[in-house]
């Protein structure tokens, strides 16, 4: 710490105003899709290992304000995707009941969407697409998150999130998640009973 120095501070003047960009970016369904992709070359994605508990995952995701994480194994190989929706208490309780495991002992491995069940959009497609195309893709896939893959280098290079799109467009983007397994169908039925 010896090579750092304290910066000079000043008092705020009564005439000091908040700086604003000269031109605010307005987003629409016709805006380039690249504007809403979380690019892993620019933003390090949050990654968690398979044995992280649900409570630990929820805490970490809240702490860094993310709605999805990449799940990796001990060798840092990609194994799946975990979203905030996957942390649903009802689904966790269903898994605990079915497997006989304590709810606190359930790991993200049991809750994530495994790699083989995930879909990705090629980066080349995204580069030619508009935000409206992304919304249509998310609706068709029945998921609020879709990965982006660089098919030339065989690398996951980003993620598209309905919540990021909604934030940019300043309108709700509600994607109804499709049940991909019998367990998810049962969880959806029990969730519907409680409403």
pLDDT in tens, 48-77: 999 999 989 999 999 999 989 999 999 999
Q: What pLDDT, on a 0 to 100 scale, did the predictor assign at position 194?
A: 47
How far apart (Å, rounded) are the C-alpha atoms in residues 195 and 186? 15
Confidence label for 180 from pLDDT (cuts 50, 70 and 90): low
Confidence label for 177 from pLDDT (cuts 50, 70 and 90): low
Domain ranges of the chain: 33-186
Q: Report yes or no: 61 and 46 within 8 Å, Cβ to Cβ.
A: yes
How deeply is 175 buried, as exposed, middle or buried, from its count of CB atoms within 10 A (0-12, 13-18, 19+)?
Answer: buried
Render 111-163 in DSSP notation, one character per residue.
HSEEGGG--EEEHHHHHH-BHHHHHHHHHHHT-SEEEEEETTTTEEEEEEEHH
CATH architecture of 33-186: Roll (3.10)
* Contact residues for 44 (Cβ-Cβ < 8 A; gap 6+): none
Q: Which residue bears the tokens 């994605």? A: 45
* Contact residues for 149 (Cβ-Cβ < 8 A; gap 6+): 120, 121, 122, 123, 155, 156, 157
Q: What pLDDT, on a 0 to 100 scale, did the predictor assign at position 86?
A: 84
Q: Is the whole-model pTM more than 0.85?
A: no
Q: What pLDDT, on a 0 to 100 scale, did the predictor assign at position 23?
A: 60
Tens-place pLDDT, residues 78-120 = 999 999 888 876 777 777 778 778 778 889 998 899 999 999 9
How far apart (Å, rounded) are the C-alpha atoms in residues 48 and 71? 5
């Amino acid at each position: 710490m010896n090579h750092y120095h304290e910066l000079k501070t000043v008092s705020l003047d009564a005439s000091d105003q908040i700086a604003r960009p000269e031109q605010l970016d307005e987003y629409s369904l016709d805006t380039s899709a690249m504007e809403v992709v979380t690019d892993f070359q620019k933003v390090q994605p949050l990654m968690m290992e398979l044995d992280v508990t649900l409570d630990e995952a929820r805490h970490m995701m809240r702490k860094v304000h993310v709605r999805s994480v990449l799940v990796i194994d001990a060798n840092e190989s990609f194994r799946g995707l975990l979203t905030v929706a996957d942390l649903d208490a009802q689904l966790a309780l269903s898994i605990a009941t079915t497997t006989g495991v304590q709810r606190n002992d359930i790991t993200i491995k049991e809750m994530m969407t495994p790699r083989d069940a995930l879909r990705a959009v090629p980066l080349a497609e995204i580069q030619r697409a508009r935000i409206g195309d992304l919304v249509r893709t998310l609706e068709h896939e029945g998921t609020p998150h879709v990965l982006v893959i660089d098919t030339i280098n065989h690398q996951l290079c980003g993620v598209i999130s309905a919540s990021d799109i909604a934030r940019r467009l300043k309108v709700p983007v509600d994607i109804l998640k499709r049940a991909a397994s019998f367990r998810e169908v049962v969880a959806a039925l029990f969730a519907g009973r409680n409403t």
